[in-house]
Structure 1
Amino acid sequence: MAKADAVPDVSPTPRHQHLIVTVYGLYARSQDGTFAVADLIQLLGDLGVESAGVRSSVSRLKKRGVLVSLKRGGSAAYKLSPELEDVFSAGDERIFAPRRAQKDDGWLLASFSVPEAQRHLRHRLRTILTRVGCGQVSPGLWIAPGNLADEVEHQLRRAQLMEYVDLFKATHLSGGHIDEKVGQWWDLPSLEALYTEFLARHQPVLQRWEKHEGESESPELLKQAFADYVPMVTQWRRLPYMDPGLPEEYLPDNWHGLAAQELFTKLHALLGPKAQHYAMSVVASN
């Protein structure tokens, strides 16, 4: 996350639209990317969202091109836009299978120049670089761990912006400690605050579920797993994009991102299958 850009909304109480996107990303792709409106209302109702809020949020997502409306078995339904399938697939890897960079990975440099007449593309470029986890060295020079090279190039090509960008693999040769430079290129304190908030909100959830270990998976227990899991994933899923996955040697002491990643991994393993079972049971019953 570059210092020049505002921190994305990762509030502990996710917006309705964010919850809907998470539900689609987790469960709709096994249903051809489609949910009947009734299914969506029930699932979001289990997360505390009233039906009017679901319909309003779905309408906004439709206007943004995230969802498209259709009929399924004579009933109203919404489907993920086919254009976003590769976005969700890439997100699966970034969110559920992250890889922290090693020192030997080196650095990726992205140098860009945009004509003044197309300055709107400059903002788009910076937005993409920020979302993929790049830091800012100077206005036209951005940096990321070398292991992100393929992803950065893919995102820039997808946005048809590569003609303005040159990418380089690099080694840091200047004097001084690289961790000091890292603190200039990325806003680590803001990211640390978000990880701390994630831990504060979801550590108690893990502790509560550890007490249920060994219990039979009753319908109510599965429903509670769904209600805990989806907001947790919703809060988490932006963080791996904001965090470049820097080598541990370059991170501040007691970096909470490592503990937050461990917590997410445990909750995903514990609650993910239960939440999946519940969501599919709702879809099958309607």
Structure 2
Amino acid sequence: MPPTPETLSTRTLVLAMAGADGSLDTGPLFDVAAACGMSDDQVRLCLRRMTADGTLTPQGGRGRRAAFRLRPGASAEVLPELEFLDYALGQDAGRHPWDGTWGLVGFTIPEGERGQRDRLRRQLLYLGGGLVPGGLYVSPNPWEDLVSAAAADLGVTGHLTMARTGRLSIGTTTDPAALAADIWPLADVHTGYQRFEAALRRRLGRLDGRPVDPPTVLRDALITIVAFAEASGPDPLLPPELVPRADWAGRSARALLLTAAERYTSVLGADDLPYGLRRLLTT
């Protein structure tokens, strides 16, 4: 598993710097880019490419006074999904106890619709599903509404089969926690969260007793958002009853993320905090 990144790609920086309404002012963007070691020409080239592919729409101005509008939903490429984070925090607080059942999803989509079939597979994995023998996807969470919405968006509802059962076995394995350990790469997820925490503690340590350079602090805040999205992406958000260890790093990583949001707010001020981090304070 690659280490938690301590910098950002130019495209990721642009996506993460957009406001809640998709607005992007290039003045602060160039300042933070410099703190990331990027040249102005590198940023301008990225802006031109993102405009050409439709991700950005120019709103007037030139150079450091240029303004853009981000395509709706584009920032989801790099920011954590708040609905999932809120659900995970509820699990951490004991608000979503497991009812002991498993949701199963299967589908038979014709070869002529291979693209839709592949997109549905990716969406099921994104929703935390795990693949079990026989081509079924399973989740211990109440995911039926999310799966139905995804299938409807793809136009494949008629090819979908869903069920929920209180008994799941794979071969001779019936213990729920053992099943979860077989279905999902939980050791890798745990390690990814640990790396996120270690890197974030280093970044937060740079705030102690040092003069504040706003672009550098903003860079670190943006790296934190993107790094958490990467660490949490593979996490199926299993209920506490199914996580493999009492010191599951997902819990401590989420707690540290909220602490970081508060620290960065105290340094930068709520108005200057990047939207991706500021919105975490409302979870």
TM-score (norm 2): 0.76
Instruction: Identify the match of residue 264 of structure 2 among 265, 271, 281.
Output: 271
Once the two structures are superposed, the pairs formed by residues 141-156 of structure 1 within 5 Å of their partners are 141-156=136-151
Once the two structures are superposed, the pairs formed by residues 12-161 of structure 1 within 5 Å of their partners are 12-24=6-18, 28-29=19-20, 32-71=21-60, 76-82=66-72, 91-95=81-85, 98=88, 99-100=90-91, 101-104=96-99, 106-138=101-133, 140-161=135-156
Is 1:261 the counterpart of 2:259? The answer is no
SS of the residue 2:60 aligns to: strand
Asked whether the 8 Å contact 1:110–1:168 carries over to 2, the reply is yes
Distance of aligned partners of 1:40 and 1:223 in 2 relative to their CA distance in 1, 3 Å threshold: closer
**Given residue 19 of structure 1, which amino acid in structure 2 is its aligned partner?**
L
The alignment yields a C-alpha RMSD, in angstroms, of 3.5
Q: Provide the rounded CA distance (Å) in 1 between the counterparts of 2:130 and 2:2.
A: 15
Q: Which moved more, 1:231-240 or 1:150-159?
A: 150-159
State the shift of 1:230 in Å: 0.8
Equivalence for 2:179: 181
Instruction: Identify the match of residue 234 of structure 1 among 226, 249, 254.
Output: 226
State the shift of 1:237 in Å: 1.7
State the shift of 1:125 in Å: 1.4
Distance of aligned partners of 1:83 and 1:223 in 2 relative to their CA distance in 1, 3 Å threshold: closer
Q: Which moved more, 1:188-197 or 1:145-154?
A: 145-154
Equivalence for 2:281: none
Q: Which moved more, 1:168-177 or 1:68-77?
A: 68-77
State the shift of 1:189 in Å: 2.4
Which consecutive unaligned segments of at least 5 residues does structure 2 have?
Answer: 275-283
Q: Percent identity?
A: 22
Q: Provide the rounded CA distance (Å) in 2 between the counterparts of 1:85 and 1:154.
A: 21
Equivalence for 1:194: 192
Q: Which structure has greater helix proportion? A: 1
Q: Provide the rounded CA distance (Å) in 2 between the counterparts of 1:277 and 1:84.
A: 22
**Given residue 33 of structure 1, which amino acid in structure 2 is its aligned partner?**
G
Distance of aligned partners of 1:103 and 1:182 in 2 relative to their CA distance in 1, 3 Å threshold: same
Distance of aligned partners of 1:61 and 1:188 in 2 relative to their CA distance in 1, 3 Å threshold: farther
Distance of aligned partners of 1:12 and 1:76 in 2 relative to their CA distance in 1, 3 Å threshold: closer
Asked whether the 8 Å contact 1:109–1:169 carries over to 2, the reply is yes
State the shift of 1:182 in Å: 0.9
State the shift of 1:260 in Å: 1.5
Which consecutive unaligned segments of at least 5 residues does structure 1 have?
Answer: 1-6, 281-286
Asked whether the 8 Å contact 1:103–1:247 carries over to 2, the reply is yes
Asked whether the 8 Å contact 2:79–2:229 carries over to 1, the reply is no
Q: Provide the rounded CA distance (Å) in 2 between the counterparts of 1:10 and 1:113.
A: 38
Q: Provide the rounded CA distance (Å) in 1 between the counterparts of 2:35 and 2:272.
A: 11
SS of the residue 2:132 aligns to: strand
Distance of aligned partners of 1:128 and 1:58 in 2 relative to their CA distance in 1, 3 Å threshold: farther
Asked whether the 8 Å contact 1:94–1:241 carries over to 2, the reply is no
State the shift of 1:12 in Å: 4.6
Deviations, residues 50-74 of structure 1 (Å, cap 9, x unaligned) = 2222233334444554333332699
Q: Provide the rounded CA distance (Å) in 1 between the counterparts of 2:51 and 2:167.
A: 45
